[in-house]
């Protein structure tokens, strides 16, 4: 049992294996990633065909057992895929709670729910669960850039869509109430209550007009004709007209404000003064630890730079950790970029959805075993503001205590060193620290607290 625990621990902390699986499952620009995506698309489409085939009585009677066996195989495949995505994701919780994470979960649940509830007493519930499998088709959005664009457009347009829906809702309630006033007093009428009248207004306004409820009075028929014509006006035309009008109005307002403010001092954010316009952007590489994009930008003077390269990184943190005795907690490790082993402050990367302070406290505990104390944000720095988009949050933690041993990942190999204030100052003067993001907050500390 102990051996199994050790093997499980090694597996869960095998960062190299996680990275390999990540490249296959989440990326599609490698041969293995493309092959996996093709196989996954095939399984999704075949599983949907099975759901459709099972709903046909003749096919289900003849090929039912074979279809169920195939469903078991597909369910196990989707389960393995879901578990692997959780395993290799940089943020398992973020993936599990995302839209596609929930869709991936729905792709695995129905069969297990069938086993849980059984096919006898809960037969109708089981059939309902099995129909959930059709939602696997939403997984296809993972492979369509146009699908991602559509979802993004819907999110951006949701306020306008909401306002338009509210307008239509108010309109059908008003029309339904008016029709009840016109037709509701007639004996044996179908317009005997306002909800029925609102239902009639909805189907008439949307131009489907089932004909199950129709007015008979001249005034009711006249109102019905008006609503049908109004339906064409509301449904067929306004989407383009309203959108174009709003865009034009916004542009006119911008132009007007620009014209009127030419001779006025502008109240702009000084941090955005002289900001470049991004005309086009393209990602060249997307990896868990490296994301690079190429922008085409226009400077305020009109000069266009066709190729400007930006490296995207998550937020970084580092910590000046001082014990209750006034000593400084450092780490020493090899840095492959420089090919050198140096002393450093405890540092790390913010995980997705994690606050910088939480990341700093977590990294200090994992790398050194120290925790507690009083924490304050000491500095916020950029490693290279010209080509890197992230910030580094430097924290000062005083009064920390050793409360545990190290909890290192398989890719981490570092030792913990506790040095005196005097020794640290001499190390700084001798240039024993290479990392500028650590040197700056340390020098600030010694200038702020010279004694």
Same domain, 323 and 443: yes
Give yes or no for residue 26 having a pLDDT over 80. Answer: no
Q: Is residue 2 part of a domain?
A: no
What CATH number did the domain enclosing 177 receive? Answer: 1.10.287.70
Same domain, 154 and 230: yes
CB 375 within 8 A of CB 364: no
Percent of the chain, pLDDT > 70? 80
Report residue 78 CA to chain centroid gap: 21
pLDDT band, very low/low/confident/very high, at 310 (cuts 50, 70, 90): very high
Question: Which pLDDT belongs to residue 362?
Answer: 92
More confident residue, 63 or 391: 391
Question: Which pLDDT belongs to residue 210?
Answer: 73
Question: Which pLDDT belongs to residue 106?
Answer: 75
Question: Which pLDDT belongs to residue 9?
Answer: 80
Question: Which pLDDT belongs to residue 445?
Answer: 93
Give yes or no for residue 128 having a pLDDT over 60. Answer: no
Same domain, 16 and 105: yes
CB 83 within 8 A of CB 20: no
Q: Which residue in 323, 313, 312 sits closest to 346, CA to CA?
A: 323
Same domain, 139 and 153: no
State pLDDT tens for residues 230-271. 887 776 545 654 455 555 545 655 665 565 555 545 555 676
Among 6-10, 155-159, 321-325, the range of highest mean pLDDT:
321-325
Give the separation between CA 252 and CA 28, rounded to whole angstroms: 43
Residues sharing a CB contact under 8 Å with residue 443, sequence separation 6 or more, in sequence order = 428
State pLDDT tens for residues 176-186. 888 888 888 88
**Burial grade of 359 (CB within 10 A; 0-12, 13-18, 19 or more):** buried
What CATH number did the domain enclosing 350 receive? Answer: 3.90.79.10
Pick from 103-107, 329-333, 390-394, 423-427: least confident: 103-107
pLDDT band, very low/low/confident/very high, at 156 (cuts 50, 70, 90): low
Question: Which pLDDT belongs to residue 399?
Answer: 93
Question: What does the buried/exposed string (b/e) look like for 64-91 if buried means 16 or more CB atoms within 10 Å of the residue's CB?
Answer: eeebeebbeebbebbbebbebbebbbbe
Question: Which pLDDT belongs to residue 361?
Answer: 93
Number of domains in the chain: 4
**Of 122, 143, 164, which residue constitutes the final position of a domain?**
143
The rounded radius of gyration (Å) of the Cα atoms in the chain is 32
Same domain, 417 and 396: yes
Same domain, 308 and 323: no
Pick from 192-196, 272-276, 350-354, 427-431: least confident: 272-276
Average pLDDT score over residue span 17-45: 77
pLDDT band, very low/low/confident/very high, at 124 (cuts 50, 70, 90): very low
**Of 114, 143, 172, which residue constitutes the final position of a domain?**
143
More confident residue, 84 or 104: 84
pLDDT band, very low/low/confident/very high, at 122 (cuts 50, 70, 90): very low
Give the separation between CA 225 and CA 219, rounded to whole angstroms: 10
Q: Is residue 252 part of a domain?
A: no
Same domain, 439 and 340: yes
**Of 143, 171, 188, which residue constitutes the final position of a domain?**
143
Residue 211's region, left for phi above 0, alpha for psi from -120 to 50, else beta, is: left
Same domain, 96 and 180: no
Same domain, 307 and 288: yes
Range of the domain at 229: 148-237
Average pLDDT score over residue span 418-436: 93
More confident residue, 307 or 207: 307
Question: Which pLDDT belongs to residue 365?
Answer: 93
Among 66-70, 271-275, 437-441, the range of highest mean pLDDT:
437-441
Average pLDDT score over residue span 307-321: 94
Q: Is residue 193 part of a domain?
A: yes
For the full predicted model, state whether its pTM sits above 0.75.
no
Q: What is the 3-state secondary structure (H, E, C) of the chain?
A: CHHHHHHHHHHHCCHHHHHHHHHHHCCCCCHHHHHHHHHHHHHHHHHHHHHHHHCCHHHHHHHHHHHHHHHHHHHHHHHHHHHHHHHHCCCHHHHHHCHHHHHHHHCCHHHHHHHHHCCCCCHHHHHHHHHHHHHHHHHHHHHCHHHHHHHHHHHHHHHHHHHHHHHHHHHHHHHHHHHHHHHCCCCCCCCCCHHHHHHHHHHHHCCCCCCCCCCCCHHHHHHHHHHHHHHHHHHHCHHHHHHHHHHHHHHHHHHHHHHHCCCCCCCCCHHHCCCCEEEEEEEEEEECCEEEEEEEEECCCCCEEEEEEEEECCCEEEEEEEECCCCEEEEEEEECCCCEEEEECEEEECCCCCCHHHHHHHHHHHHHCEECCEEEEEEEECCCCCCECCCEEEEEEEEEEECCCCCCCCCCCEEEEEECHHHHHHHHHCCCCCCHHHHHHHHHHHHHCCC
Question: Which pLDDT belongs to residue 123?
Answer: 40
- Give 423's Cβ-side CA count (13 Å radius): 10
Same domain, 101 and 69: yes
Q: Is residue 353 part of a domain?
A: yes
What CATH number did the domain enclosing 115 receive? Answer: 1.20.120.350
Q: How many residues does the chain have?
A: 451
Torsion of CA 442, 445, 450, 451, to 10 degrees: -100
Same domain, 180 and 217: yes
Lookup result for tokens 């650590």:
438
Give the separation between CA 340 and CA 435, rounded to whole angstroms: 12
pLDDT band, very low/low/confident/very high, at 377 (cuts 50, 70, 90): very high
Give yes or no for residue 121 having a pLDDT over 50. Answer: no
Question: Which pLDDT belongs to residue 206?
Answer: 79
Same domain, 181 and 201: yes
What mean pLDDT is reported for the chain?
Answer: 80
pLDDT band, very low/low/confident/very high, at 159 (cuts 50, 70, 90): confident
Q: Is residue 164 part of a domain?
A: yes
φ/ψ of residue 377, rounded to 5? -70, 120
Average pLDDT score over residue span 22-32: 74
What is the token pair recorded at 317? 């943190």
Q: Is residue 262 part of a domain?
A: no
Q: Is residue 246 part of a domain?
A: no
Q: Is residue 368 part of a domain?
A: yes
Question: Which pLDDT belongs to residue 46?
Answer: 81
């Amino acid at each position: 049992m102990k051996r199994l625990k050790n093997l499980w621990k090694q597996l869960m902390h095998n960062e190299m294996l996680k990275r390999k699986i990540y490249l296959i499952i989440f990326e599609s620009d490698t041969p293995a990633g493309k092959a996996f995506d093709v196989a996954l698309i095939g399984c999704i489409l075949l599983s949907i065909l099975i759901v459709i085939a099972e709903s046909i009585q003749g096919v289900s009677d003849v090929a039912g057992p074979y279809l169920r066996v195939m469903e078991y195989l597909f369910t196990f495949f989707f389960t393995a895929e879901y578990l692997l995505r959780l395993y290799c994701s940089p943020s398992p919780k973020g993936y599990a709670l995302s839209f596609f994470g929930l869709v991936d979960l729905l792709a695995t649940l129905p069969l297990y729910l069938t086993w849980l509830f059984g096919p006898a007493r809960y037969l109708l519930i089981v059939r309902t669960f099995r129909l959930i499998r059709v939602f696997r088709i939403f997984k296809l959005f993972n492979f369509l850039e146009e699908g991602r664009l559509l979802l993004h457009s819907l999110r951006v347009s949701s306020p306008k869509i909401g306002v338009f829906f509210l307008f239509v809702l108010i309109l059908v309630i008003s029309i339904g109430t008016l029709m009840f006033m016109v037709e509701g007093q007639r004996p044996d009428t179908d317009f005997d209550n306002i909800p029925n009248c609102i239902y009639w207004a909805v189907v008439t306004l949307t131009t489907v007009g089932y004909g199950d409820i129709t007015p008979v009075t001249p005034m009711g028929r006249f109102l019905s004709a008006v609503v049908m014509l109004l339906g064409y006006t509301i449904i067929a035309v306004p989407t383009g007209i309203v959108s174009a009008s709003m865009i034009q109005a916004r542009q006119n307002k911008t132009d007007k404000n620009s014209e009127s403010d030419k001779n006025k001092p502008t109240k702009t954010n000084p941090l955005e003064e002289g900001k470049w316009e991004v005309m086009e952007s393209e990602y060249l590489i997307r990896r868990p630890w490296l994301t690079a994009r190429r922008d085409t930008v226009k400077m305020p003077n009109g000069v266009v730079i066709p190729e400007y390269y930006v490296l995207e990184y998550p937020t970084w943190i580092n910590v000046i950790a001082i014990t209750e005795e006034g000593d400084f907690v450092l780490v020493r490790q090899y840095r492959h970029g420089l090919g050198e082993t140096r002393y450093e402050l405890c540092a790390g990367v913010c995980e997705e959805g994690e606050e910088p302070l939480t990341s700093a406290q977590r990294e200090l505990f994992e790398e050194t075993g120290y925790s507690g104390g009083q924490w304050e944000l000491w500095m916020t720095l950029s490693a290279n503001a010209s080509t890197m988009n992230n910030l580094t949050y430097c924290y000062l933690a005083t009064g920390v205590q050793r409360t545990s041993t190290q909890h290192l990942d398989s890719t981490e190999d570092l030792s913990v060193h506790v040095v005196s204030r005097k020794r640290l100052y001499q190390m700084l003067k001798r240039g024993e620290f290479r990392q500028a993001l650590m040197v700056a907050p340390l020098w600030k500390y010694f200038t702020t607290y010279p004694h």
